[in-house]
Amino acid sequence: MSATYSYILSLTSANTNIYKIGGPILIVIGTLSCFMSLRVFTRRTLRQSPCSIYLIASTLANFLMIYTSILISTLGTGYNIEPSTYDLKFCRFRYYITFVCDVLSPSYLILAAIDRIFITSRNASTRQRSTSRLAYICVVVITVFWLIFHIHALIFTVIIKSASGLDVCYFQPGVYLTLVSYYSLIIKAILIPILMIIFGLWTVKNVRSLIHATALVTRTSVNGVGVAVGGVRSSRSKDRQLIKIILLDTLIYIQFNTMISVLLVYQQVMQDRVQPYVQLYLQGFVLSVSVFSAYIPFCIGCYSNLFVSKTFRTEVRNILMCR
């Protein structure tokens, strides 16, 4: 057996084991995470907040992602159970639901970050834009938009013969495959992370401005000067905790999607160059690992919230103690 063949077999085995072992683990911890997060964000103390509405929507999207895309990938790659290779309807549904779920949760996080920008603004009229009604409208609009936008996957995804003679569920070769590649690059690798960074930093800037303004008010009060800074309002503890949750969720999403973002850029750069087949196998393995890595943020929201938010920890404790 040649060293090259052995190397390829080791990559294949490693890829299979990642999904065979790691897939069920992700599904279990992800299910517990989504269940507990829903219980917390739907409690009376939090559910009226517009930010909680976005987080509930994000959690539901995560749950859907776990039991569609992650489950299908685990069965296919880890256990060689792949109905999409012989059922065209399932093949198209697989990619359609993956496209939709992959973008829904980060979209809700972006909306939540915008809501935190509103609530931390020093302008009273801007703060009034943070309403539950607007949150429900935005969730419905963004959900319908992505459901319609990705209908192309239900039309142009096909079952094709691979070089090894096996049937593979994949995008229609040609112009559509190129468009999907650029879509993944622009939306997932560039647009979503940039928007998350911008709105996250904007929220941090607003919070720091509020803290500075509050400190000024405190100093003038202590000195006996009855001057107030107009439009300044300290964020409630609940709002500050939600800000921490949004910022950490954003950081986690960007961190675990960095690998696939870099790889997508690399693929576009190298697409017209002839590469050794060993390098192509390695590239496929790295892509599979990066996809698995990108699944992680959908499964650990509850645990990161426990780490960063005292309010979340308190609510979880109350739930476990049946209060």
Q: Could you give the percent of the chain with pLDDT greater than 70?
A: 87
Yes or no: say if 252 and 300 are a contact pair by the CB < 8 Å rule: yes
What pLDDT does 271 receive?
A: 67
Residue 263 and residue 61: Cα distance in Å, rounded? 25
Could you list the residue range(s) of the whole structural domain that residue 280 is in?
14-320
What pLDDT does 212 receive?
A: 61
Flag whether 7 is in a domain.
no
Please write the tens of the pLDDT for every residue from 112-170. Answer: 999 989 988 888 888 888 899 999 999 999 999 999 999 999 999 998 876 666 788 88
Q: Across the chain, which distance is largest between two alpha carbons, in Å?
A: 86
3-state helix, strand, coil in the chain (%, to 5): 80, 5, 20
| pLDDT at residue 229 tops 50 | no
Please write the tens of the pLDDT for every residue from 50-62. Answer: 989 999 999 999 9
Residue 157 β-bridge partners: 171
Residue 245 and residue 292: Cα distance in Å, rounded? 23
Yes or no: say if 159 and 172 are a contact pair by the CB < 8 Å rule: no
119, amino acid identity = I
| pLDDT at residue 311 tops 50 | yes
Flag whether 8 is in a domain.
no
- Angle (CA) 167-173-178 rounded to 5° is 135
Q: Of 51, 17, 80, whose CA–CA distance to 236 is shortest?
A: 51
| pLDDT at residue 272 tops 80 | no
Name the band, by pLDDT with cuts 50, 70 and 90, for residue 226. very low
Flag whether 253 is in a domain.
yes
What pLDDT does 37 receive?
A: 93
50, amino acid identity = P
Lowest mean pLDDT among 103-112, 147-156, 226-235, 292-301: 226-235
Flag whether 132 is in a domain.
yes
pTM: 0.87
Q: Looking at per-residue confidence, does 274 or 141 come out higher?
A: 141
Query: What DSSP string runs through 93-124?
Result: HHHHHHHHHHHHHHHHHHHHHHHHHHHT-S-H
DSSP state, 67?
Answer: I
Yes or no: say if 181 and 267 are a contact pair by the CB < 8 Å rule: yes
| pLDDT at residue 224 tops 60 | no
Lowest mean pLDDT among 127-131, 225-229, 305-309: 225-229
Flag whether 2 is in a domain.
no
Name the band, by pLDDT with cuts 50, 70 and 90, for residue 23. very high
Q: What is the CATH number of the domain that holds 154?
A: 1.20.1070.10
Q: Looking at per-residue confidence, does 216 or 199 come out higher?
A: 199
Flag whether 291 is in a domain.
yes
Average pLDDT of the chain is: 84
CA 239 to chain centre: 21
| Domains of the chain: total | 1
| pLDDT at residue 220 tops 60 | no
Q: Of 232, 175, 230, whose CA–CA distance to 208 is shortest?
A: 232
Please write the tens of the pLDDT for every residue from 154-188. Answer: 999 998 876 666 788 888 888 888 888 888 878 88
Query: What DSSP string runs through 12-41?
Result: HHHHHHHHHHHHHHHHHHHHHHHHHHHHHH
Flag whether 170 is in a domain.
yes
Flag whether 245 is in a domain.
yes
Q: Of 212, 207, 210, 211, whose CA–CA distance to 244 is shortest?
A: 207
What pLDDT does 213 receive?
A: 61
Please write the tens of the pLDDT for every residue from 42-97. Answer: 988 777 789 899 999 999 999 999 999 999 999 999 998 988 888 899 999 999 99
97, amino acid identity = I
